[in-house]
Structure formats: C-alpha cells, structure tokens
C-alpha cells in the first residue's frame, strides 16, 4: 500500500475500542446527508477512558469537499479547542463517503498519519456512509487507525471496535 518513510507508526493499533455518543452520530449523519454528493469533513474530540479506550464526546463540522481537498488548518484546531470540555482534546477526524463504502483511501491514510496519528498515537479516523442508514436513522460508520505492515515500510488501515452510547 502507501509508502511512507516513517517507522514511528506501529504494526498494531494503539486503540482497542472507541465509544461514541449516539447524538454525535446523529449530527454527523445530518451533516453528511446535507453535504451529498460531496463529503462532509470534521474533527473528533474526547478523552481516554483507559489507556487504549477512547470516549468521544464532541465533533466539529469543518467543511464539505472531496477526497483530495481534505485538510485542516490551525484555525480549525483552535475553533475545536474552544468548544471542547476541560479534560478533552482532539482525538482524530471524521468524514463521509457518500455512496462508496467504508474504508480509508490512500489519501485518507496520508491525511491520518501526517495530520493526526504522528502527533497523537491515539488518534482515530471515522468514516460515515450517509447512503446506508440504519433503523435508528443513523449512517453506517467505522473507526480506523493506520498501522505499518510488519517488515515493510507500507501502511494500511485497521478497523477499531466501537460502541454507541445512547
């Protein structure tokens, strides 16, 4: 997969599970539907429950766009800091894949490594699919971290288990 010359990405994920507030998934579903056919893009915030378990309690909608235009500015991170609760911080990003399923593209992998995971090893990437809605009206979704393939400089994504908190 992608060749990135940085070996500080581990070969197994640092995060074991993520708990997501249901209301946040409702919000991301709404932003993602409104942005269609473009992607909705934003930030994820929360804190560690334990060393390898995250609980996400805030999101920021940043912009809508396409895969290649996903990028975050210092102003985006600053705006997010302003709405985060005291002991919470930015723990990654989310974006939608309207109509093309749950995965991280090569561009997403690079965005995740350079904008998030190299700065905080607990950062996660969340993809939501607003054309696949469940019986609760929520988009299907999946959390990821990027890992290094053992014995090589190649990187790939790994799914992270997740739970919805009502």
Least Å distance between CB 100 and Zn ion? Answer: 8
**Which among 20, 41, 48, 145 is positioned nearest to 93, based on CA atoms?**
41
Query: Could you please report the per-residue DSSP string of 60-112?
Result: EEEEEE-GGG----HHHHHHHHHHS-TT-EEEEEEEE-TTT-S---HHHHHHH
64 belongs to the binding site for Zn ion (CB under 5 A)? no
Least Å distance between CB 95 and Zn ion? Answer: 5
Which residues on neighbouring strands pair with residue 146, listed in sequence order? Answer: 157
Instruction: Please identify, using beta-carbon distances, which residue of 17 and 105 lies nearer to Zn ion.
Output: 105
129 belongs to the binding site for Zn ion (CB under 5 A)? no
108 belongs to the binding site for Zn ion (CB under 5 A)? yes
Contact region for Zn ion (CB under 5 A) — 16-24, 41-49, 108-116, 133-141? Answer: 108-116
> Which residue is at the shortest CB distance from Zn ion?
108
* Interaction site with Zn ion (CB under 5 A): 105, 108
């Amino acid at each position: 997969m992608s060749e990135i010359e940085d070996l500080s990405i581990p070969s197994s994920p640092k995060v074991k599970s993520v708990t997501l507030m249901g209301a946040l998934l409702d919000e991301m579903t709404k932003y993602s539907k409104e942005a269609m056919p473009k992607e909705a893009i934003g930030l994820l915030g929360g804190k560690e429950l334990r060393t390898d378990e995250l609980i996400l309690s805030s999101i920021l909608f940043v912009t809508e766009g396409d895969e290649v235009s996903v990028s975050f500015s210092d102003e985006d991170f600053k705006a997010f800091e302003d709405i985060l609760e005291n002991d919470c911080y930015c723990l990654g990003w989310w974006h939608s894949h309207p109509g093309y399923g749950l995965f991280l593209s090569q561009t997403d992998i690079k965005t995740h490594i350079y904008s998030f995971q190299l700065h905080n090893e607990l950062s996660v990437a969340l993809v939501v699919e607003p054309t696949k809605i469940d019986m609760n009206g929520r988009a299907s979704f999946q959390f990821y971290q990027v890992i290094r393939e053992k014995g090589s400089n190649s990187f790939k994504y790994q799914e992270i288990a997740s739970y919805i908190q009502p």
